[in-house]
Amino acid sequence: MNDINESWGWVVSQVLNSLGVFETNPGGFSGEWAGSGKAQRVVSPIHGEVLATVVNVTPQEFDGILVKCHQAFASWKLVPAPKRGEVVKEIGDALRRNKAALAELITLEMGKTLREGLGEVQEMIDICDLAVGLSRQLYGLTMPSERRMHRLQEQWHPLGVVGVITAFNFPVAVWSWNTALALVCGDTVLWKPSSRTPLTAIACTKIAEKVLLEFGFDPAICSLAIGKGSDIGDLINTDPRVALVSYTGSVPGGRHVGKLVQERFGRHILELGGNGAVIVSDKADLDIAVPSIYFGAIGTSGQRCTTTRRIIVHESIAEAFKTRLLELYSRTAIGDPRDGKNLMGPLVDAVAVNTMLDAIETVKAQGGKILCGGEKLPAAGACYVTPCIAEVIGNLPIVKEETFAPLLYFMTYKTIEEAIALQNGVPQGLSSAIITNDQRESELFLSAAGSDCGIANVNTGTSGAEIGGAFGGEKETGGGRESGSDAWKAYMRRQTSVINFSGQVELAQGIILEL
Ligand code: NAD
């Protein structure tokens, strides 16, 4: 395990200062910064050292924040969409300027490697670019009316306050996927980040605040409320002033949020857990399969919703494939994620480490065999593990659960139909892939008889979605879609209109009105 410890305190303060984050920070924003609730110390998983303190908002402060965010909607929705796009363009440019510092803060706060931190900020910049273009394309349709001299049309209007609740593993990208679209759609945003990653949330909110002020808009358009999910989160779930709740997190959390939001007939986008699988065919190019699966399984230390958690390998190539993958695993550089040599940083906290170790014991108890890894590394105050591969026969009960850690299940198949059934045989439905040079196999995989996931890739792995496509998954993944394609429609309300320019009354469905 590599370690670079030098000048830790100095580096941390440089990064925090450059992003306007202080030793102690109020956790609420809606034009002014506030927070007088419980103070929480934010600990880096790299060394277990305190980075800064955040003071949570109280329920009363939350209400004040929501009032202002809701008021800001009244004027923001009237700003022409292309003008709103100009604001998002400037937010994107500010992110470009702050890319290095923000990436470092992501790495310090949640432990992903710096190269992945940079990738996350790039994703934010990309979604801003997409949203800017979109701000001139929020199009409705016109349909032929069944009545003479009538026009039938639909148009899209701003929706209201979007409550964005985010997970720790993409602490800022998920906010940006939602916020860039919400802003051009004319909505305002109230963000509740993970309590494990509040500093990156403060940094991003400050970036948006500055831009909104420069343009002369109400900065409450991008509001923030840091606090526990069970109090601040539930206030968002239950308040009818929040028109849309976009929730990213675990399946149990999403089940809870979905029920509460549905209860009040609010809208929700649920982006929940995954259980990504890659089918490796006997016609696969192993030079593609091995690195794609390796990155998919160990990237972000196995803490992506799209992480490759299962590989389903044709029995005829299983041994050759296993040998190559194990060789790569054996030389995984693990350590300080700021060091470019390391491919894997720590897990987010000690709970995550214990969850992984417990899952490994369960795998063994259910008949699985550990092929490599799965040990906690001795590093004081930190949460480093070796990535694990477990050989299993089919989807054991533990395999059907999402263990949010670098734990990869290896299984074999005989026929492509059997492989697809294994791929689909879990409750989650987010990301899937097949590695094959056989077109019939890949087309089958992409057909209605194939993968049941929201994402189905060919000859590339399960993780690393591009923002241009709609992102989300089926079954217990929650069914939501964010990011590209027409995902913007979830952030707007559709209005259908009939316009009569005939000068006469003509009823639909040919009904005659005799007066
Ligand atoms: P988590 O469920 O512990 O927390 C997610 C968020 O929910 C946090 O902000 C938390 O404070 C909040 N929360 C907790 N209780 C709440 C409540 N009652 N009401 C409202 N919000 C509440 O998840 P996590 O550990 O931060 O993240 C990992 C999980 O997120 C994994 O399951 C992963 O697959 C999933 N995830 C999914 C996607 C996706 O796009 N599908 C993306 C990233 C992460």
Cα of 120 vs centre of ligand 1, distance in Å, is 17
* pLDDT > 70 fraction of the chain, expressed in percent and rounded: 99
Cα of 369 vs centre of ligand 1, distance in Å, is 30
Residues within 6 Å of ligand 1 by CB: 165-170, 192-195, 229-230, 233-234, 237, 248-250, 253, 256-257, 271-274, 305, 402, 404, 430, 477
In this structure, is residue 366 part of a structural domain?
Answer: yes
Model confidence band, residue 29 (pLDDT cutoffs 50, 70, 90): very high
In this structure, is residue 237 part of a structural domain?
Answer: yes
Q: Containing domain of residue 162, as a range?
A: 8-271+485-494
Q: Are residues 229 and 308 in the same domain?
A: no
In this structure, is residue 180 part of a structural domain?
Answer: yes
What is the rounded average pLDDT for all residues in the chain?
A: 97
Distance CA(343)–CA(373), nearest Å, equals: 15
The predicted-structure confidence for 170-221, as pLDDT tens digits, reads as follows 999 999 999 999 999 999 999 999 999 999 999 999 999 999 999 999 999 9
Which residues, other chains included, contact 314 with Cβ-Cβ below 8 Å and sequence gap of 6+? 280, 281, 282, 284, 412, 413, 414, 419
Where are any strands of DSSP class E within 150-272?
Answer: 150-158, 161-165, 188-192, 222-225, 242-248, 267-271
Q: From the CA atom positions of the chain, what is the Rg in Å?
A: 24
Q: Whose CA is nearest to atom 23 of ligand 1?
A: 249
Residue 196 CA, closest ligand 1 atom number: 26
In this structure, is residue 507 part of a structural domain?
Answer: no
Number of domains in the chain: 2
Q: Hey, which residues does 225 pair with through a beta bridge? A: 28
Q: Are residues 219 and 315 in the same domain?
A: no
Q: Whose CA is nearest to atom 22 of ligand 1?
A: 229
Minimum mean pLDDT range among 3-12, 17-26, 52-61, 146-155:
3-12
Q: Is the pLDDT of residue 2 over 50?
A: no
In this structure, is residue 282 part of a structural domain?
Answer: yes
Q: Are residues 29 and 93 in the same domain?
A: yes
The predicted-structure confidence for 292-340, as pLDDT tens digits, reads as follows 999 999 999 999 999 999 999 999 999 999 999 999 999 999 999 999 9
In this structure, is residue 504 part of a structural domain?
Answer: no
Look up residue 142 and give its DSSP letter.
E
Q: Whose CA is nearest to atom 26 of ligand 1?
A: 167
Average pLDDT on 125-147 reads 98
Distances (CA, A) of 12 to 54, 101, 207, 383, 493: 16, 10, 19, 19, 43
Q: Are residues 209 and 307 in the same domain?
A: no
The predicted-structure confidence for 382-398, as pLDDT tens digits, reads as follows 799 999 999 999 999 99
Q: Are residues 168 and 241 in the same domain?
A: yes
The confidence score (pLDDT) of residue 382 equals 76
Q: Are residues 235 and 165 in the same domain?
A: yes
Mutate-to-test residue for ligand 1 from 57, 224, 305, 474, highest number of ligand atoms within 8 A of CB:
305
Which residues, other chains included, contact 83 with Cβ-Cβ below 8 Å and sequence gap of 6+? none
In this structure, is residue 479 part of a structural domain?
Answer: no
- CATH number of the domain within which 297 lies: 3.40.309.10
Distance CA(447)–CA(435), nearest Å, equals: 15
Model confidence band, residue 6 (pLDDT cutoffs 50, 70, 90): low
Q: Whose CA is nearest to atom 35 of ligand 1?
A: 249
Mutate-to-test residue for ligand 1 from 106, 165, 196, 354, highest number of ligand atoms within 8 A of CB:
165
Residue 193 CA, closest ligand 1 atom number: 9
Q: Which residue has the tokens 């794609």?
A: 292
The confidence score (pLDDT) of residue 7 equals 79
Note whether 201 and 191 are within 8 A (CB): yes
Average pLDDT on 432-453 reads 98
